Structure 1
Amino acid sequence: MNDDQSRALYDRALSVMPGGVNSAVRAAIEPYPFFVRKGDGGHVIDADGNRYVDWVMGLGPLLLGHDLPEQVRAEIQRTASEGPMYGTPTEVEVDLAEFVVRHVPSVEKIRFVNSGTEATVSAVRLARGYTGRNKIVVMQGGYHGAQESTLVEGDAENPKPSSAGIPQSFAEHTLPVPFNDEEAMRDVFENHGDDIAAVLTEPILANYGIVHPVEGYLETLREITDEHDSLLIFDEVITGFRVGGLGCAQSHFGVTPDVTTFGKIVGGGFPVGAIGGRAEIIEQFAPSGPVFQAGTFSGHPVTMAAGLETLQFAAENDVYEHVNRLGDRLRSGLTDILADQAPNYTVVGTDSMFKVIFTREGPSAGLLEDQCDAGCVQDPDCPRYDYCPKNAADVKRAETDRWRRLFWGQMKDQGVFLSQNQFESQFVSYAHTEEDVDETLEAYKEAL
């Protein structure tokens, strides 16, 4: 493929932007990323005119794909034509809030903000303000945005910043534990329970290879936080309105958190974040409570219109049936391909999310017939159960360099755009087709 324009654009970008990008993951591909000119359904077209099947979907927000249905596009354009923003409330933000409250089990009230990071920052501050405690438990390797309270690595007894610019004194209030490790969670509450404001976790580790909870793990988190009067916060920035449909992953798993953070799909492809939960907790936000939170662009009318129209379209059409069916076809097809070509590797994902993790070990080939048939769901009866990733460290031990340096480029050369590293999820949209799935599976066969 010719990439002269992308190379020239990256050369210009390096002169004016750090790393030539505005978000670090975009520069993960070497020697340089391709620059997108436009989207077309389930595809993107780059600056050189190359066309790719797009399974990145903006890293998750584009549930409907790049070509929005006419009614969604028309409402966004109508709202934008009436003025960019006002600094006052608008009816559409009330409409979107009512929609979320009707459909998501944990949400009685909601505050809209401008990004997933802003949502998790605000949720952490809210938990501390509501409980009067300082410490937050997070999952090792979990990602909750570019914020000081969660850019922390190590373990609960030796937390340390994972980024320059974060004081050690900040990191000491964050307690990382492994995902899916009930014993570690009980230990951290035994040692610090009186000062733990909340456990903050994705219901599925969706930003680190797609790791399902083992059976009973989320229920254990609900039980422990209740016992210690701490809050359970689900970060559904990625899984929200994608896993479990309009009820989100919490409805899929049947576990209701105290607070939920949202982003991506709830804004219909425009910048957005939100914090929802029990009314008595969310009302701690100013002006009704003492926890300060505000933003010039919060509840932006164009974003609110895009989010509302996207979710209403999903509710009234076959969006989830379509994307989940294609997701199942992808994962099932990949499972069959790996059984023949790379039996150590693991297919992960659920609903409209999918990924192949280049795990280094697996069961003997003769046992693969009884494995999970459409992505790992931590089934104890699956022969792969002892080998599939249970936490972020397991994903990190996979062949991540092979995935990025060899496999990703081979897929790109065949016209398939996958997320820029092994950790980010891939997503199916309403605009994708059976033909896109078939083309992608053939590309996997060739690249593997």
Structure 2
Amino acid sequence: MNHNESRALYDRALSVIPGGVNSSVRATRPYPFFIDHGDGAYVVDADGNRYLDYVMGYGPLLYGHDPPDPVQAAVQSYASEGPMYGAPTEVEVELAEFVARHVPSVEMTRFVNSGTEATVSAVRLARGYTGREKIVVMQGGYHGAQESTLVEGDPEGAMPSSPGIPSSFAEHTIPVPFNDAGAVEDVFEAHGDDIAAVLTEPILGNTGIVHPVAGYHERLRELTDAHGALLIFDEVITGFRVGGLQCAQGKLGVTPDVTTFGKIVGGGFPVGAIGGRAEIIEEFTPAGEVFQSGTFSGHPVTMAAGYEYLNYAAENDVYDHVNRLADRLRRGITDILADRAPSYTVVGTDSMFKTVFTRRGAPVDGDSGSDADSEDHSLDVCEAGCRQRESCAKYDHCPKTGADVADAEAERWERIFWQEMQEREIFLTANQFESQFVSYAHTDEDIEETLEAYKEVL
């Protein structure tokens, strides 16, 4: 496969862009291939190589690279009438009304420009609304490039996870293990009167896709209610992808106080949003006193794309299609792993999927489970992605926290598996942690081609 043009472009980029990329996750080894254009479920690089795409822009592209005609028409119409105005437009009201009709937690929405901006604003809102400063986050969770959540450590001592962040920010952030209700209970017992909010993804989406164990989010809801704190769901990834138009909170049956959105809600254009109960969201200026503003917030092209994106999903079988294909893909990978890599774990739900290169599998009777190759494949296991079922034979060994995914064979994914899949013209996310996505443009034939590639590589 020829990559001469991508290599030349990367050489140029290194001179004018730090690391040659504008988002660090794009820095694949030995160099990234540069995309020329998208085509349905495919991308074509600068050298003319064509790849079946499961990155889908890291989540926003529910329809692949050719959005439905109403979306394209709306984008072209609004772009031709003027790029932006510095004043409200009707379409941002229409999109806010759509979100409020469908998402359980949302009565009002403030639109911003990115998922990071949404979570930054949500943290500020929680602190302003409650008059408290501490935020509880999940170890291994990701809430954008913001100072309050780029932390590492444990409840006894958090520290910034990146240079450039003053340690004083981490003093107000309490990281706890995802799926460990006892750890959250201890934190509330020690700091309950100072906690403004618990901020979590309903399903960890930047650490290999980790589902909540039964009752975990319900316990978070009970604890925040009891202590007067807010429960914030970061649905930047899961929003309008997991659980359809009701998002992951609708599927899980737990309603947060505030929800952050990004990706799909903007129809493939830069976007973020903070939604929730009216009495909370109205604390934003100018209705309240918590400052929030932005030149490009509610950009008419983005709002039009998002509205038509979601409206098309409401009127067609979009979620049935993408969820069926992803279910078939996860089941197929699970079958392949049973024969070729039984220690690995298939994760995901709805149109999300990933294979986590976990290091051990479920034990059989009389075995400690340390030898993954001896695993009994007739045992009851999740067939289409880990669901944290206690009856599953892999329950004691499947990833339940960000640390569990971090302990997987990340180097094997990046240095061998990703490279081999690329050679077979399958475009996956470049590291072990980022989610992958099936789109409305994918077909059954695409799934079969992908499974054949998995068989060859694994």
C-alpha displacement of 1:207: 0.9
Separation in 2, partners of 1:324, 1:303: 25
Amino acid of the structure 2 residue aligned with 1:208:
T
Pick which of 342-351 and 72-81 moved more.
72-81
Q: Which residue of 1 aligns with 2:431?
A: 421
- Do the aligned partners of 2:338 and 2:377 also contact (CA within 8 Å) in 1? no
C-alpha displacement of 1:2: 0.2
- Do the aligned partners of 1:159 and 1:174 also contact (CA within 8 Å) in 2? yes
Q: How big is each residue's C-alpha offset from its partner over 1:114-147, in whole Å with a ceiling of 9 and x where there is no partner?
A: 0000000000000000000000000001100000
C-alpha displacement of 1:113: 0.1
Separation in 2, partners of 1:76, 1:11: 34
Separation in 1, partners of 2:315, 2:360: 44
- Do the aligned partners of 1:339 and 1:368 also contact (CA within 8 Å) in 2? no
Q: Which residue of 1 aligns with 2:189?
A: 190
Q: Which residue of 1 aligns with 2:285?
A: 286
Secondary structure of the corresponding residue to residue 39 of structure 1: strand
Q: Which residue of 2 aligns with 1:395?
A: 405
C-alpha displacement of 1:427: 0.3
Change (3 A) 1:440 1:151: same
Q: How big is each residue's C-alpha offset from its partner over 1:346-377, in whole Å with a ceiling of 9 and x where there is no partner?
A: 00000000000000000243244411110001
Separation in 1, partners of 2:122, 2:256: 12
2:270 aligned with 1:271, yes or no? yes
1:51-200 equivalence runs, <5 A: 51-200=50-199
Separation in 1, partners of 2:194, 2:60: 35
1:201-216 equivalence runs, <5 A: 201-216=200-215
Q: Which residue of 2 aligns with 1:5?
A: 5
Count of residues in Structure 1 that have an aligned counterpart in Structure 2? 447
Separation in 2, partners of 1:436, 1:52: 11
TM-score (norm 2): 0.97
Separation in 2, partners of 1:437, 1:152: 38
Q: Which residue of 2 aligns with 1:409?
A: 419
CA RMSD of aligned residues (A): 0.6
Any stretches of 5+ residues in structure 2 without a counterpart? 365-374
Q: Which residue of 2 aligns with 1:249?
A: 248
Q: Which residue of 1 aligns with 2:357?
A: 358
Change (3 A) 1:389 1:122: same
Separation in 1, partners of 2:346, 2:130: 40
Amino acid of the structure 2 residue aligned with 1:113:
V
Separation in 1, partners of 2:300, 2:68: 19
Separation in 2, partners of 1:122, 1:93: 19
Separation in 1, partners of 2:315, 2:19: 43
Amino acid of the structure 1 residue aligned with 2:404:
D
Separation in 2, partners of 1:30, 1:338: 25
Separation in 1, partners of 2:100, 2:210: 27
Separation in 1, partners of 2:340, 2:68: 39
2:395 aligned with 1:385, yes or no? yes
Separation in 2, partners of 1:270, 1:369: 45
The one of 409, 431, 445 equivalent to 1:435 is 445
Pick which of 358-367 and 35-44 moved more.
358-367
Q: How big is each residue's C-alpha offset from its partner over 1:15-72, in whole Å with a ceiling of 9 and x where there is no partner?
A: 0010001111111x21101000000000000000000000000000000110111121
Separation in 1, partners of 2:67, 2:435: 22
Q: Which residue of 1 aligns with 2:19?
A: 19
- Do the aligned partners of 1:367 and 1:383 also contact (CA within 8 Å) in 2? no
Secondary structure of the corresponding residue to residue 217 of structure 2: helix
2:383 aligned with 1:373, yes or no? yes
Separation in 2, partners of 1:223, 1:262: 23
- Do the aligned partners of 2:218 and 2:254 also contact (CA within 8 Å) in 1? yes
Amino acid of the structure 2 residue aligned with 1:435:
E
Secondary structure of the corresponding residue to residue 371 of structure 1: coil
Change (3 A) 1:174 1:366: same
Secondary structure of the corresponding residue to residue 174 of structure 2: strand
Q: How big is each residue's C-alpha offset from its partner over 1:159-191, in whole Å with a ceiling of 9 and x where there is no partner?
A: 000001101111110000000001100011111
Separation in 2, partners of 1:178, 1:158: 13
Identity %: 75
Secondary structure of the corresponding residue to residue 429 of structure 1: coil
Secondary structure of the corresponding residue to residue 7 of structure 1: helix
Any stretches of 5+ residues in structure 1 without a counterpart? none
C-alpha displacement of 1:157: 1.2
Separation in 1, partners of 2:34, 2:183: 43
TM-score (norm 1): 0.99
Pick which of 174-183 and 364-373 moved more.
364-373
Q: How big is each residue's C-alpha offset from its partner over 1:209-243, in whole Å with a ceiling of 9 and x where there is no partner?
A: 10000000000000000010000000000000000
C-alpha displacement of 1:420: 1.2
- Do the aligned partners of 1:197 and 1:231 also contact (CA within 8 Å) in 2? yes
Runs (4+) of structure 1 exceeding 6 A deviation are none
Separation in 2, partners of 1:362, 1:201: 28
- Do the aligned partners of 1:61 and 1:269 also contact (CA within 8 Å) in 2? yes
